[in-house]
Structure 1
């Protein structure tokens, strides 16, 4: 072969790398498309709580007069509330607005991201930050580790943004995006440790630590993945993750525990009592049936606070937690002392219910896990009638509320419908492709793919188990991670295309 002119290969490599980096930025922009089409980042009823929590913490450190006010309370401290910014009469108020309790589970660390974006001038900055995190991780996987170019990265970004929930969750001001990133970061560290540069390991670990701190369910998810990776290594089955990688994964889990402990201590000092954890498990068992049967048979002698509401059961878990109707609710109807008792008693209650009806509990939870695995419609882009007044008026700044009322989510665009259909079709096709064998052999796969597949697959299943057991099946819980399945299938498609054009690919150095 004739040698290329001096410097030509190096110049060609530089151009390829420059194009791949440009593709990273374009991919980040593609991930913002669903929110752009909506006309505003997607908000959720819990979003104001995350921002308010960070605002209160920062006000205690810097002083309320030195920070940009978000909530109606902080604006009222500086003067009368703007016209139209008060909570409408009869509107539902988040439980966190009851100053006698402070709920656990709403991460101040994720709230700091949202509040920082708002204080810097726009909530869009939070969406951009989330998009860059996803795009950078996709670049690391697709370009650096799988060895594809910028075109492949752009194709992946466009497909995942428009045919899976990834783009929607990138534009959602909630920590759900970081559940999928918890799984993917863990998989990259476990499967590609020896191929990662030191700064790449640090960067992925830092993103993983923030993802874990963003929500308690992510902490449980990361811990489950560490156990799976450790088990595979000990059994010498499939993936054999190096010891240093397992240590780093474990350190991130411990870091998440420490972050939770610091938050709980800070809240205890600030308000004189630890945060109250929502009794999701109690609500789930009551809805499922065994919890209701146990309470009817054992109250009031069982001594549980929830016995006061047994006449309302069975009821949907969401009504148990949040309904204000006297014939449906429990937690939201209770006073501060009763709320705290329900949160503290839920796991003892769960053990008693398990002893009372072990077959019913196990059968119900197993059924819910299976339901959760197949329940992943996208349900974040349509706010519903009167939702802005019910959940957001008085809890978000007036300019944010005004923008929300002009969005497609409020005006009635069917964003969720077509994206849900595309997601189910894409996931089904991806599962078929990943399971397909041709002439008795699997389809071509990128280097290190099998190890990543094991970890990511375990993470997707673990997410369904954690959410279905400790909460209840909900579309949003599984749709936040299901985009990982099409991502893996995309790796197979890209490898098949490369094998056809270049022949079998040797594993990169």
Structure 2
């Protein structure tokens, strides 16, 4: 009994220490990494602050961990959650050990972009957690009832913090359906909870029963940039009174310009994006109906482009931080926190020039991880090891779903794919040097 207790303590310490390993970029920066949108999540918990384009989830979630004192608590918790999911992932595939777990966390944090997204005060790191939580619920044979509830909650959080995660979750569930359908109901719980949270907060904020009440505006921007909207406007504007008709001959060639230019079609609308949304829904539906093949081809091209964009790039720049995050920290946090923010490498502008090597290393690591996983997939197929097969397939499908949800439905950005590409190195690391005894044991459990 004493040995059992000490083993549990050792395992817990391994998970905690593994989480700390993932925040080294923040430690090196001297402060958690920030993005211009971070200020939105800082201000979300304040009274009456609702964003039309972001779920009302991540900001309230991180409030207890910063308590208007310091953002360090947010990145530490993100690291611990990721460390726990990696522990449970390896436990589903092979007997887990504290030393092996720390080595895996060290390798993932050093060789990939995972640590940079753990250290970033944004919901991006949860993209990979969606895949891992559904894998654990669908394929682990060692979860207690309490742990099943906990991972269901973590998975629900991971899915609900970003709308693109709904697509990743749905794709991951397909793997459970194909390889272990008896566990599908367990794996479905996070998605059901996430949908309930998204619909509930939308009702509360906008009095609308919807998951994404204004998402059509993003789709309109994407289709316009792809060149699929102009012909629809030319055909229907003589009989419609759409706001966008005035923009038929000057539609932006870039979806970000379409969306965020203060003088563009979205923000020149009297009601802004919220007012444009009903019109956008109508135009998007007509575009899909009349131009299905061009829309499909554009989606394939954008997905393919997004799939290969693995570089830190826009993750660590300081663009717009002085006008967004700095104002929020100054308003809501202590003067000491603002000073720590101002002294960070990111704000000082000395970080970008030093991360090119990290980006190159991460790109090489994910390519090697992918190629290695092909061999592991073939081995798992020959052994009929459905758990290993599921892990690799779920990682691949998760990456593809992420590329579609971000590239095809929004716009390809380096940040979007890099936030989840690190998953490719996980199966090789988890399966490294797995002995034959472990293989036979796990294979029998999978069967």
Q: Distance in 1 between matches of 2:225 and 2:409?
A: 13
How large is the Cα RMSD of the aligned pairs? Answer: 3.0
Q: Could you tell which deviates more after superposition, 459-468 or 338-347?
A: 338-347
Q: Distance in 2 between matches of 1:221 and 1:404?
A: 33
Residue 344 (str. 1) matches residue 278 (str. 2): yes
Q: Distance in 2 between matches of 1:371 and 1:12?
A: 52
Q: Distance in 2 between matches of 1:302 and 1:377?
A: 43
Alignment of 1:348-427 (within 5 A): 348-384=282-318, 387-397=320-330, 399=335, 400-410=337-347, 411-414=349-352, 415-427=354-366
The residue number in structure 1 matching 2:28 is: 37
Q: Could you tell which deviates more after superposition, 139-148 or 460-469?
A: 139-148
The residue number in structure 1 matching 2:419 is: 480
One of 211, 219, 234 as aligned partner of 2:158:
211
Deviation at 1:287, TM superposition (A): 0.9
Residue 241 (str. 1) matches residue 174 (str. 2): no
Question: Structure 1, residues 44-75: CA drift from partner, whole Å, max 9, x if none?
Answer: 11111122121226xxxxxxxxxxxxxxxxxx
SS of corresponding position for 1:404: helix
Q: Distance in 1 between matches of 2:129 and 2:356?
A: 25
Deviation at 1:212, TM superposition (A): 1.9
How many positions carry a matched residue from both structures? 435
User: Retained in 2: the 8 A contact 1:103–1:277?
Assistant: no
Q: Distance in 2 between matches of 1:47 and 1:127?
A: 13
Alignment of 1:258-407 (within 5 A): 258-268=196-206, 276-277=214-215, 279-296=217-234, 298-324=236-262, 326=263, 329-336=264-271, 338-384=272-318, 387-397=320-330, 399=335, 400-407=337-344
Q: Distance in 1 between matches of 2:92 and 2:379?
A: 30
User: Retained in 2: the 8 A contact 1:164–1:426?
Assistant: yes
SS of corresponding position for 2:96: coil
Q: 1:132 to 1:261 in 2, by over 3 A?
A: same
State the TM-score, normalizing by the size of structure 2.
0.87
Deviation at 1:300, TM superposition (A): 5.0
Alignment of 1:35-184 (within 5 A): 35-56=26-47, 103-119=51-67, 121-143=69-91, 145-184=93-132
Q: 1:405 to 1:293 in 2, by over 3 A?
A: farther
Unaligned runs of 5+ in 2: none
The residue number in structure 2 matching 1:88 is: none
Question: Structure 1, residues 93-148: CA drift from partner, whole Å, max 9, x if none?
Answer: xxx8xxxxx53342332101332233263211111111111111112222465213
Q: 1:359 to 1:412 in 2, by over 3 A?
A: same
Unaligned runs of 5+ in 1: 1-9, 58-95, 97-101, 233-238
User: Retained in 2: the 8 A contact 1:28–1:132?
Assistant: yes
Q: 1:444 to 1:479 in 2, by over 3 A?
A: farther
Question: Structure 1, residues 324-361: CA drift from partner, whole Å, max 9, x if none?
Answer: 2x4xx22133332x532322333332232233433322
User: Retained in 1: the 8 A contact 2:376–2:428?
Assistant: no
State the TM-score, normalizing by the size of structure 1.
0.77
Q: Which has the higher helix share?
A: 2
Q: 1:32 to 1:353 in 2, by over 3 A?
A: same
Question: Structure 1, residues 197-252: CA drift from partner, whole Å, max 9, x if none?
Answer: 2222112111111112212222332233334533x1xxxxxx1231xx32233333
Largest Rg, 1 or 2: 1
Q: Distance in 1 between matches of 2:85 and 2:373?
A: 21
Q: Could you tell which deviates more after superposition, 248-257 or 150-159?
A: 248-257
Question: Structure 1, residues 170-216: CA drift from partner, whole Å, max 9, x if none?
Answer: 11111111111111101111122x33222221121111111122122
Q: Could you tell which deviates more after superposition, 208-217 or 446-455?
A: 446-455
One of 469, 479, 490 as aligned partner of 2:429:
490
SS of corresponding position for 1:396: helix
Alignment of 1:490-509 (within 5 A): 490-495=429-434, 498=435, 506-507=441-442
Deviation at 1:380, TM superposition (A): 4.8
Deviation at 1:31, TM superposition (A): 0.6
Q: Distance in 1 between matches of 2:115 and 2:360?
A: 15
One of 145, 148, 157 as aligned partner of 1:198:
145
SS of corresponding position for 2:363: helix
Q: 1:206 to 1:306 in 2, by over 3 A?
A: same
Deviation at 1:286, TM superposition (A): 1.0
Q: 1:314 to 1:323 in 2, by over 3 A?
A: closer
Q: Distance in 1 between matches of 2:8 and 2:197?
A: 37
Q: 1:14 to 1:259 in 2, by over 3 A?
A: closer
